[in-house]
Amino acid sequence: MKHDDLATWIAQLHPQVYHRLHYRWRKAEYRPSTESLAMLNHLAISGPLTVTEAAQHFDRAQSAMSELIDRLYGGAAPDTCQSCGRSINDGTYCQYCVDESGRLQAFSERFERMVLWSLKQEPDIERSEAEKRTRDYMRTMPAWKDHPELNA
């Protein structure tokens, strides 16, 4: 390769590589967790795996593995609550997300409960941080992702 060609080639390649390394997430975009990213990196190297193979490969229980995979495919699988992501045997929502008549709770009620739950899990975080995390989480849930309060 001649000197000039090489320089041109590097000049073209550099922005492409830079872009890959400095990819920015859009604000409301779903971000894979560190765990999901690690898994994707592994899968990129190993190629397609069945759930059983993947469970062996990642040294995880098969149930944990299929949950991780469900999450990678964009949130809730059919057997998870469409509001909070909890595993359920049937139906659309879990017992915690509905009122006495089985209807999905109002956004404000569900939001408040999830914030409180989040604060209970991690007592050290500020309420504002818990609210932010709850909003980010609810944006990944089919029942809430298009809710006006989350897209304000």
For position 115 contacting Zn ion by CB under 5 A, the verdict is no
The token pair that represents 100 in the structure block: 């006495």
For position 82 contacting Zn ion by CB under 5 A, the verdict is no
DSSP string, 90-152: SSSS-TTSB-TTSPBPPHHHHHHHHHHHHHHH-TTS-HHHHHHHHHHHHTTSTTTTT-GGG--
| Burial tier of 108 (Cβ tally within 10 Å: 0-12, 13-18, 19+) | exposed
Query: What torsion, rounded to 10 degrees, do the Cα atoms 85, 91, 92, 94 define?
Result: -50
| Contact by Cβ (8 Å): 137, 114 | yes
For position 98 contacting Zn ion by CB under 5 A, the verdict is no
CB of 96 to Zn ion, least distance (A): 5
CB of 88 to Zn ion, least distance (A): 7
CB of 147 to Zn ion, least distance (A): 15
CB of 97 to Zn ion, least distance (A): 3
Burial code of 36-70, b = ≥16 C-beta within 10 A, e = fewer? eeebeeebeeeeebeeeebbeebeeeeeebbbbbb
For position 80 contacting Zn ion by CB under 5 A, the verdict is no
For position 81 contacting Zn ion by CB under 5 A, the verdict is yes
Q: Which of 84, 114, 138, 141 binds Zn ion (CB under 5 A)?
A: 84
Interface map 50-79 toward Zn ion (x if CB under 5 A): ------------------------------
For position 114 contacting Zn ion by CB under 5 A, the verdict is no
For position 141 contacting Zn ion by CB under 5 A, the verdict is no
* Closest CB to Zn ion among residues 55, 134: 134
- In the complex, the residues that contact Zn ion under the rule CB under 5 A are 81, 83-84, 86, 94, 97
